[in-house]
Structure 1
Amino acid sequence: MFVRLTDPVARAGGAHGRLFALLLLLALVALPGCQSALPTPAATGAELGRDLSASIAKVARADEKTNARTRAEAEHRRLLAANLPALLSAAGPPTPAAGVSRGEALRDPADFGAITPVLRPTGQDTGLREAGIGLPVVAQLPAPRDPNAPRSGYHLPATLVAQPRQKARGPGRLPTASAAAPSAQSGAGGDGAAGTAGPDCCEAALVDPTAVSAVPTASGTLPVAMDLTAPLEATRATGVGPLTALANLLRPGRFTGEPRIVFLEPYQPDKTPLVLVHGLLSTPGVWRPLVTRLLADPRIRDCCQLWFFYYPTGQPVPLSALQLREALNDAVAETGLDQQMILIGHSMGGILSRAQVSRIGPTRANSILSGVSELSDYNRLHRALIFEPRTDVSRVVFLFVPHRGSRLAANGAGALMIRLIQLPDTLLNEAEHLANQLAGAESRRMPTSIQGLSPRSRFLRVLDATEPTVPVHSIIGNRGRGDGTRGSDGVVPIHSARLPAAESEVVVPTGHGGFDHPKAVAELKRIILLDIAQRQAGDDAAGQSPRVSTK
């Protein structure tokens, strides 16, 4: 484990040195997020105990709604950051300390490859931050053996909480108001070892701020600082940028690795997976605004974990649906999942999600591709077009989904994109003798994802004739340029997004990408919490939580 801190300026002499130092200072002040301002000098053991007590008391005295509180918390963070290596040493191996009594809420600093302090919040407050004592950090957890981890590992939120230790009390006991700070006569060699900020001077704990909201101190019970924005900004779980999304559409054969499920955080067996499936010309990065709003709700954080399906979006829709099925199978087998999942699909991702809870048998499959039922069960085309519904999905939420296609997939722009997409040679070779039948009368090329979203798509028509085997919900966009029947989100008309089998339907005044609209988010939260409540009620009635099939 190592700690990232901003190094002080190297030696520089004379006027040039002073100018360089001034410019560096200005640059440091302007840097956002996890970058550090000029650090507070590290204290000796007795000094740190005294400074900790004073800084905590200053935070407690300041009015929450004034700038004084913000300044006091910033000073408190800088004090902890200046002594971060020693305090992390005191925090491991983790034991209840510094006012924290819940052992399961503690994190071990030795588990992380890097711990980066967050001295100053950046960007708009989206409900992912809480003011208080302690130093929020981004803790990077390498996960080379976790197939569902982001490539760069997990970036987890943590908060370093520290309080002065007194001779009269043992580990884990709280300071008293009368003995909060060492006496002025104790000097540098008082309670702690001279020149150090080791465990003799204070108690420290690295905690999960979503599990510990407050700790008792000599100045009263105070909230624990939390910053969930910095880890979310640091993670790669939500995917890469728009250029990669375009490449994944036009050149799906060059997609790096295999389509897979990516976890935002390490698997937690007691939490329900929310599986987010993006649509055409997208990556999991499109979910960032929605993820921010979901994580801002402590009820969602407590009961759910976020999974993302990452795949190239230019390939045929049935193949992508097969890849989602296989990726979910792999994640379930890897984790031993015993919680049912909630699938949340946007646009084409909703079509892939619907295929997970639908049944297409040989007869219907043959109407999509003549003779497909005669292919081997191991053939990809056979598995993509003939399938059974999953039993480990509790419900599906459709966000702006073209169940009956979109005419934009068949217009001039759509036709141009179809010509630009290059499917993998392996897929073309496998289906070469059936490519003409697959493409129908539209083209002599194997259909791409865009063709698969046309109202004339055979697969889409057959899938739309099936009945989902679990409760489903529709969230539909309408830009206000038509009535309830002729309206559209700019891509998907309302009549295509509507599903008679849906248990609920909400129309949101927004465009195709507006799934983070407040009305859409509120409806999505309602559905998630409804599902959790119903399953908990069922488990209570049955007296146990049954395991689900991974078929």
Structure 2
Amino acid sequence: MGGETHEPLVGLIRVGRKADMDGARIAALVLAAGWLTGCGLWDARGQMQMMGQACTISGTVVADDAVPGPYVVAVFRAPMEEGAVPEPVDHVVSAGGGEWFFGLAPGRYQVLAFADPERDGQHEAGAPVYLANQGGMLDCPAGTRLGNMEIQIEGEGVAGHAIALPVMRGAGPDGSPISVGGVTAFGEVTTLDDPRFDDDVARGSQWRPVDFMLAGYAGIYFLEPYDPDRIPVLFVHGMNGSPRGFAELIDQLDRERYQPWLYYYPSGLPLQSIAAHLAQTLEEIELRYEVESLPVVAHSMGGLVAKGFLHERARRASPAHIPRMIALSTPWHGHAAAQSGVDRSPVVIPVWRDMVPGSEYQRRLFESELLEETELHLLFSFRRPESGARAGTDGVLTLATMLYPPIQAMASSVYGVDTTHAGILTHPMALERVQMLLESGS
């Protein structure tokens, strides 16, 4: 299983710094060339330049049955003074080996792994460690992509100093070099009224995704502390949406049985990077709490993210069972307006390329089936001609993209609701259908 070189999640160029509306916003891509002028154009261009300055290090952990996991892959910044202890910058937790990546500020780094059966992020001096690049420092200047770093869980390396990594991580910088993990929420408890979920923040994430990441908004949020007696349900919003768009779906959950987990991400980034970020973030949380089962509910572009996330999990050997994925009004074959944005805009936001019908990202989603353990259930929205909507659409997406034949072939069920693209998140028939699907296998 070879490592994959990921596109940067965020342009990390500074050291030590600190409702769903996606239907209309997808359609608005066609106006991108006209909108991206003045300050908007300057902001978008600056964000793309910052993304290009990221240092990315990625690779694979090759597990050994003789050394039980889980494993921690940690990246350390080269010490400024000779003899000083290297500073841990970020880490990834892996259940049984698989892919990992770090998005970092430019610099010199060392990457190593160790077994962490106690799941406490602690490792004593003299204990075994397993090295990337034979333990040598990695020079990672601005714009560098260091991929295919293989770490074999074997050998005779030992830790020259004790390692203490934070078990509970949350959003926000801590004075260390900026890294993706350092500005990601790992199960932070909040409410749907959190200002981070406001519409203007969500809308801005398409044009200013780097600012969104550096502000510490991205990650997985809880609405209450974890309860081992209830099943988590992961919600993934669409383009320029936020967890707040799922308010009515969350309200109708049986909270004696389920607990909502909310993934929040900047809409402007490449979908592959978002899917990898979700997979890596969730794996650490599910290992922390020993989660066994986790259904997924996604809306619109969130369905594309969620399916890519399932593929990422397969490459990482993530442990939790994903019994079903419920996708509501997803543009499985993209949106024609995205092509207009790519063709006409002087600055192209990366996600637009992924939303072009038949894009490379979409093609990869259909190269392999879903995991055998995961049922896929499709809900789609449509408007009758008398509603005034364009024929064959829900007012935003065409039926052709929501009912793209290859995804229908993978689906266990397909269900239509006479409502708008955003209305499917609040329509009683859709709410009842989602609840029924969740209950059907729990």
Q: TM-score, normalising length from structure 1? A: 0.42
The yes-or-no answer on 1:275 pairing with 2:185 is: no
**Structure 2 partner of 1:523:** 433
The CA deviation at 1:392 is 2.5
C-alpha change, 1:528 and 1:331, in structure 2 (3 Å) is same
Indicate the structure with greater helix content.
1
Cα distance in 1 for residues equivalent to 2:346 and 2:316: 30
One-letter amino acid of the structure 2 residue matched with residue 259 of structure 1: A
The CA deviation at 1:388 is 6.6
One-letter amino acid of the structure 1 residue matched with residue 401 of structure 2: S
**Structure 2 partner of 1:463:** 365
One-letter amino acid of the structure 1 residue matched with residue 250 of structure 2: V
One-letter amino acid of the structure 2 residue matched with residue 402 of structure 1: P
Contact 2:187-2:285 within 8 A present in 1 as well: no
Question: Number of residues paired by the alignment?
Answer: 253
**Structure 1 partner of 2:266:** 312
Which residues of 2 match residues 343-492 of structure 1 at below 5 A?
A: 343-358=296-311, 392-411=321-340, 419=346, 448-469=350-371, 470-481=374-385, 487-492=392-397
**Structure 1 partner of 2:161:** none
The CA deviation at 1:341 is 0.3
The CA deviation at 1:419 is 4.5
Alignment match of 2:402 (pick from 480, 497, 500): 497
Contact 1:408-1:491 within 8 A present in 2 as well: no
Contact 1:406-1:491 within 8 A present in 2 as well: no
Cα distance in 1 for residues equivalent to 2:430 and 2:205: 28
Which residues of 2 match residues 25-44 of structure 1 at below 5 A?
A: none
**Structure 1 partner of 2:421:** 512
One-letter amino acid of the structure 1 residue matched with residue 308 of structure 2: A
Q: CA RMSD in A?
A: 3.3
The structure 1 segments of at least 4 consecutive aligned residues displaced by more than 4 Å after TM superposition are 148-155, 386-391, 418-422
Cα distance in 2 for residues equivalent to 1:323 and 1:245: 18
Sequence identity of aligned pairs in percent?
25
The CA deviation at 1:280 is 0.6
C-alpha change, 1:389 and 1:502, in structure 2 (3 Å) is farther
SS in 1 for 2:255: helix
**Structure 2 partner of 1:263:** 222
C-alpha change, 1:335 and 1:419, in structure 2 (3 Å) is farther
Cα distance in 2 for residues equivalent to 1:262 and 1:240: 11
**Structure 2 partner of 1:66:** none
The CA deviation at 1:253 is 0.8
**Structure 2 partner of 1:326:** 280
One-letter amino acid of the structure 1 residue matched with residue 414 of structure 2: E
Per-residue CA distance 1:193-221 (angstroms, 9 max, x = gap): xxxxxxxxxxxxxxxxxxxxxxxxxxxxx
C-alpha change, 1:153 and 1:330, in structure 2 (3 Å) is closer
Which residues of 2 match residues 55-134 of structure 1 at below 5 A?
A: none
Cα distance in 2 for residues equivalent to 1:309 and 1:152: 10
Higher relative contact order, chain-length normalized (CA < 8 Å, sep 6+) = 2
The CA deviation at 1:264 is 0.8
Cα distance in 2 for residues equivalent to 1:252 and 1:394: 31
The yes-or-no answer on 1:253 pairing with 2:210 is: yes
Cα distance in 2 for residues equivalent to 1:360 and 1:328: 10
Cα distance in 2 for residues equivalent to 1:315 and 1:153: 22
Cα distance in 2 for residues equivalent to 1:457 and 1:420: 18
Contact 1:340-1:394 within 8 A present in 2 as well: yes
C-alpha change, 1:145 and 1:359, in structure 2 (3 Å) is closer
Cα distance in 1 for residues equivalent to 2:268 and 2:248: 24
SS in 2 for 1:289: helix
Cα distance in 2 for residues equivalent to 1:321 and 1:152: 17
Per-residue CA distance 1:32-85 (angstroms, 9 max, x = gap): xxxxxxxxxxxxxxxxxxxxxxxxxxxxxxxxxxxxxxxxxxxxxxxxxxxxxx
Cα distance in 2 for residues equivalent to 1:289 and 1:415: 37
SS in 2 for 1:341: coil
C-alpha change, 1:150 and 1:391, in structure 2 (3 Å) is closer
Contact 1:477-1:489 within 8 A present in 2 as well: yes
**Structure 1 partner of 2:289:** 335
Cα distance in 1 for residues equivalent to 2:282 and 2:196: 18
Gaps of 5+ in 2: 1-166, 172-183
The CA deviation at 1:350 is 0.6
SS in 1 for 2:326: strand
Q: Larger Rg: 1 or 2? A: 1
The CA deviation at 1:411 is 3.0
The CA deviation at 1:461 is 1.6
One-letter amino acid of the structure 1 residue matched with residue 297 of structure 2: I
The CA deviation at 1:389 is 7.7
Cα distance in 2 for residues equivalent to 1:390 and 1:333: 8
Contact 1:246-1:281 within 8 A present in 2 as well: yes
Contact 1:476-1:508 within 8 A present in 2 as well: yes
One-letter amino acid of the structure 2 residue matched with residue 347 of structure 1: S
C-alpha change, 1:151 and 1:464, in structure 2 (3 Å) is closer
Contact 1:360-1:387 within 8 A present in 2 as well: yes
One-letter amino acid of the structure 1 residue matched with residue 409 of structure 2: P
C-alpha change, 1:359 and 1:257, in structure 2 (3 Å) is closer
Cα distance in 2 for residues equivalent to 1:528 and 1:516: 17
The CA deviation at 1:153 is 7.3
SS in 1 for 2:234: strand
Per-residue CA distance 1:97-121 (angstroms, 9 max, x = gap): xxxxxxxxxxxxxxxxxxxxxxxxx
The CA deviation at 1:272 is 1.0
Cα distance in 1 for residues equivalent to 2:287 and 2:238: 25
Cα distance in 1 for residues equivalent to 2:294 and 2:206: 27
Which residues of 2 match residues 205-220 of structure 1 at below 5 A?
A: none
SS in 2 for 1:508: strand
Cα distance in 2 for residues equivalent to 1:150 and 1:326: 12
Q: TM-score, normalising length from structure 2? A: 0.51
Cα distance in 2 for residues equivalent to 1:152 and 1:325: 14
Which residues of 2 match residues 168-179 of structure 1 at below 5 A?
A: none
Indicate the structure with greater strand content.
2
One-letter amino acid of the structure 2 residue matched with residue 476 of structure 1: F
The CA deviation at 1:248 is 1.1
C-alpha change, 1:240 and 1:258, in structure 2 (3 Å) is closer
C-alpha change, 1:153 and 1:322, in structure 2 (3 Å) is closer
Which residues of 2 match residues 11-50 of structure 1 at below 5 A?
A: none
